[in-house]
Structure 1
């Protein structure tokens, strides 16, 4: 597969950190951006070759414009974008108490951010390259009190096929919608515990996902081998969204 220079947003922790490490291990040059200064400092201490870090709020258009100028000066062009940055906590107050400021910030980062990055970086993409938007299975399934996150991720799937039509044929655009991805080993100090055996076994694939699962799919979608794929959403959830679940056990036929 073709290696090159790619931009990944939201690299300081979680899935973004895992994908960044994966692509560096596969000899890509990565420009990684995040709003988390402490997380970027920790990542910078690892001294990864071929990694350049930029402190950035993806929802702030002047900052995104400045990033595009920086990338153009240093690299000229890039070969792909992974829009991963997000406010990743899906739960909030009950809908009747939902603060408008929270709703607006989640949509700004999780939906407007990918649009702004794509808007200002698309002119820097090499012909035949690709953009990948990281959505979520929560674009299709919900728990209570998760309207902002679900709306943003659902909007991102729609944005994906809209951009695919607008930017094609020179640039392909696809979405990856992960289910449960375990990032506990990437963040040993995080509050989220590692999945239990029950958590693994409930997945038809037999385990919870990991960052490498998502990164490997992203790498394929960035490659020339995926040259006939655009405007699509790829759900990567170990089969959970296809499994029937009944509270009291299987329903009678």
Structure 2
């Protein structure tokens, strides 16, 4: 009887050991689920509002998307924003009055960029954090208009009553000076990386970091083309007809490039 009990205990211990060993063995390999995509779920078309911020200031626009396959979309983006010379500096006095030394014209640009958007790392990164890259390009329309009232048409702003014989040319507000406007055509492009957020593919929620560029072959005169010819003591010089003597200063600028952060909020259908 004792031998039978002993054998039974040994058998029970061996059986439980096998079960414990089985519990600590390697788990079964689970197959990874295929990533979701807008294309497969029937979302082929989308539109979103596109606010953005860059070195030139704040701008806004809209973006149209069209699905080409699982992870590739065609995009068309139309925006409106300002263009500035990178050397511009804005000063604010104690009254809150803003002025930009050497500024000659304000410039507004309207680029239409068409390109591709490609999702990356679909197998490795969760569907609610969809990483992508974009590249696009197209025509750019720009409109420049006067920054100040150049009453004597010498392409230079007399901005100090004490220095320029009690004469000063005031700065226009952003809604004035349009009568002295010019149009320009150029081309540009953009590259960027970004993230589409959310599990609900019907909604667009995107942030993108990139670089945008614009080029105008004939250039745009953003800063004053002329400046006062000063004496060694810093006093302006006048000719026999009492006209201010000026010399060449700033040339036209053809290339405008800037880093940019943009957002897209919209919907897919």
Say yes or no: TM over 0.5: no
Q: Which has the higher strand share?
A: 2
Give the helix-richer structure, 1 or 2. 1
TM range (shorter): under 0.3
Structure whose CA Rg is larger: 2
Output the TM-score relative to the length of structure 1: 0.22
- TM-score, normalised relative to structure 2: 0.21
